[in-house]
Structure 1
Amino acid sequence: MRWEPLRVGDAAACAEVIAEAELVDRTGEHYDADDVAEQLADPDLDLAAATVGVWDGDRLAAYGVLAANATVPVHRVVFGGYVRPAYRRQGLGGRLVDWAIEATPAVAGHPDPPLELHAEVSDANEGKQALFGRAGFAPQRWFFAMRRPLTGDLPEIAVPTGYRVERFDLERHDEAARLVRNAAFVDHWGFSEKTPDMWKQWYTGTRAFRPGLSFVATAEHPPAGGGDTLAAILLTHYYEADTQATGRTEAWISVLGTRREHRGRGVAGALLASALRQAQLDGFAQAGLGVDADSQTGALGLYRSAGFAVEHRDARYVKTL
């Protein structure tokens, strides 16, 4: 087999590997060629150093991607890899993990320890758990994928006194929303600040972003010395590949964050209810989101009270290098 860095033109082959793997692994995630092309075209991704494709002739058997996630004081690199089912149990998974371990220091771009390599592993994938366990990884954190149908009664939109909720406007809210996201998640496990370029690439500049299903909450009477203050944001994405695979349209709530000083007042609940109602009006079949199982902000309780139920569990496996 031929091992070489990926190119953006390999996106369709990568999407084919993902689709075949999903038939076996059942993670609930689907990506088409355009989704993968966006990832491979990320200007922060060094294709030569941070990707590898394993080719059997002109057929992609497996591939891996490393993404640097600069945090303080620990420098993290996240590994994502797929092996086509027909090529499993031949050692390719183990060799991909070995490649990731060897390539991580260069991808991290930081010579000083501590340095960690992370990988997401489904609770239902015992083979992958064993693979990473043998390589010295250990589960450190759990994350839930939660969903609810957009039929029947939805949560009431109850905007707390002193705030107003409005539709996301790219021109007015984009940069302020990025700052809210960074402030809201700074105390979360694994936090990394999103730069303007990263924000555009993965949040409001991606083709999946749906501003019509995204909302912001503004404090009408902010502290002295400033104008209106953006207190919380909710961003929604739609992935066509999910609909192609499942036959259902899903509004994926990718970010819901509230500045610390505005928490505990019902602001996040008002944003969530607004997004669910709009998604229902737009004809979406269901809504989904991901949450840290140990989040200290009460997010899990909020989502359950809004009718979301846990559908899938992933563990973050970590190896210190």
Structure 2
Amino acid sequence: MLTLTKRSYRGETDLEAIVNLWEACEAVDQLEQWTTVSELERDFNDPSFDKQRDLQLWEDETGKLIASATLWHPLGELTDGYLGFRVHPDVRGRTLEGEIINWGEERLRELAKEQGVTSVKLRCSSRDNRFDRIAILQENGFSADRYFLTMERSLEEPLPQPQIPAGFTVRSVIPEKDAEAWVEMHNQSFIDHWNHQDLALEEYKHWRSNPDYRPELDLVAIAPDGTFASYCYSAIYPEDNKRSGRQEGWVNTLGTRRGFRRLGLGKAMLLSGMQKLLAAGMNLAKIGVDYDNPNGARQLYESVGFRKVYTWVSYYKQI
């Protein structure tokens, strides 16, 4: 009989144990999802995250950490929350996953009550080949509602030259100077996308303070009238590359605001971002995309050589 103790986060002393839990899960799941103490610190210091209320840990009778769960939610209006959890492979498939989901539901109800919201969705995701996790989600009332592709493209193959529309200028972002304009552009670019939630200025500033952030990989296209019209924000994660043995970079976010679409800006910014990754020594570019993106993002990526690697499925449960 497995005896479990649920508890809240106790601070930095828990970080190494959470890293070890991720390692144990990755050894079995092979999702290329690792973490470090410094990455967890940055995540947990996100302005939208309450370390004492949005994080829960489970230990066995020896004090070993065997599960962790987080509930992520926006700083602004609450429409849904994202439940992330990891369970040690040795104790999966019992009742613990159900207990974790129940905790996520209760935490989301608590948030909804605080904000006076009557209907919210609890979300969770799974790789499409994680049949054990999918079965657990379905058994606990979750339904699939969206599919996301992870795609990659070799940077060792020739890259077309970006064709910047006449009158537009492309430069690297200056976070201290451009923060408000960038956030406004981002929110306007994704306002008509599935499940969009506005990015808060505080969150932008938090993530641009990441030591791995490289301004030369953060590009913006500025219209003749000075409007921030399109952008490509790429990133390199040295720790992940060290573990995988690859030199890969991610095109994290690519967007064009309404009123500036169908001008070729999206393709030009994508190619510009890929060139920056190549110049930084990367030989592989990766990107994530909503399969049903309304503006043809998947087709754009395929047109410049990206191909699907795997699929993630978004699940939800009405609370």
Please report the TM-score for the alignment, with normalisation by the length of structure 1: 0.92
Residue 78 (structure 1) aligned with residue 82 (structure 2): yes
Residue 195 (structure 1) aligned with residue 196 (structure 2): no
Match of 2:174 in 1: 169
Supply the distance in 2 between the matched residues of 1:71 and 1:190 (Cα, whole angstroms). 14
Q: Which of 229, 244, 247 is 1:246 aligned to?
A: 244
Match of 2:108 in 1: 104
Q: Which of 129, 145, 153 is 2:150 aligned to?
A: 145
Q: Which of 180, 185, 210 is 1:180 aligned to?
A: 185
The alpha-carbon deviation at position 70 of structure 1 amounts to 6.2
Match of 1:225 in 2: none
> 1:158 is aligned with what amino acid?
Q
Match of 2:264 in 1: 266
The alpha-carbon deviation at position 71 of structure 1 amounts to 7.1
Check conservation: 1:163, 1:217, Cα contact below 8 A: yes
Q: Which of 57, 70, 77 is 1:65 aligned to?
A: 70
Q: Which of 259, 269, 279 is 2:277 aligned to?
A: 279
Residue 48 (structure 1) aligned with residue 46 (structure 2): no
> 1:129 is aligned with what amino acid?
I
Partner-residue secondary structure (3-state), 2:203: helix
Partner-residue secondary structure (3-state), 2:115: coil
Check conservation: 1:66, 1:107, Cα contact below 8 A: no
> 2:298 is aligned with what amino acid?
L
Post-superposition Cα deviations, 1:209-243, rounded to whole Å, max 9, x if no partner, equal 221112110112x3xxxxx1111111122222311
Supply the distance in 1 between the matched residues of 2:242 and 2:88 (Cα, whole angstroms). 20
Match of 1:5 in 2: 8
The alpha-carbon deviation at position 273 of structure 1 amounts to 0.9
Supply the distance in 1 between the matched residues of 2:312 and 2:49 (Cα, whole angstroms). 24
Unaligned 5+ segments in structure 2 are none
The alpha-carbon deviation at position 44 of structure 1 amounts to 2.5
> 1:297 is aligned with what amino acid?
N
Taking a change above 3 Å as real, the CA distance of residues 157 and 81 of structure 1, as seen in their structure-2 partners, is same
Q: Which of 243, 247, 255 is 1:257 aligned to?
A: 255
Check conservation: 1:8, 1:41, Cα contact below 8 A: no
Partner-residue secondary structure (3-state), 1:188: coil
Q: Which of 191, 209, 218 is 2:222 aligned to?
A: 218
Supply the distance in 2 between the matched residues of 1:310 and 1:80 (Cα, whole angstroms). 24
Q: Which of 18, 30, 39 is 1:35 aligned to?
A: 39
Check conservation: 1:70, 1:76, Cα contact below 8 A: no
> 1:229 is aligned with what amino acid?
T
Partner-residue secondary structure (3-state), 1:53: strand
Supply the distance in 2 between the matched residues of 1:82 and 1:162 (Cα, whole angstroms). 49
Same amino acid, percent of matched pairs: 27
Taking a change above 3 Å as real, the CA distance of residues 116 and 70 of structure 1, as seen in their structure-2 partners, is farther
Please report the TM-score for the alignment, with normalisation by the length of structure 2: 0.93
Post-superposition Cα deviations, 1:133-168, rounded to whole Å, max 9, x if no partner, equal 011000011111111121020122111122121222
Partner-residue secondary structure (3-state), 1:80: strand
Residue 91 (structure 1) aligned with residue 98 (structure 2): no
Check conservation: 2:247, 2:284, Cα contact below 8 A: yes
Supply the distance in 1 between the matched residues of 2:261 and 2:10 (Cα, whole angstroms). 44
Supply the distance in 2 between the matched residues of 1:274 and 1:55 (Cα, whole angstroms). 47
The alpha-carbon deviation at position 285 of structure 1 amounts to 2.3
> 2:48 is aligned with what amino acid?
D
Q: RMSD of aligned C-alpha atoms?
A: 1.7
Check conservation: 2:83, 2:104, Cα contact below 8 A: yes
Post-superposition Cα deviations, 1:240-279, rounded to whole Å, max 9, x if no partner, equal 2311221112211111111110011111111111111121
> 1:194 is aligned with what amino acid?
L
Residue 122 (structure 1) aligned with residue 120 (structure 2): no
Unaligned 5+ segments in structure 1 are 223-227
Check conservation: 1:54, 1:61, Cα contact below 8 A: yes
> 1:198 is aligned with what amino acid?
E
Match of 2:229 in 1: 231
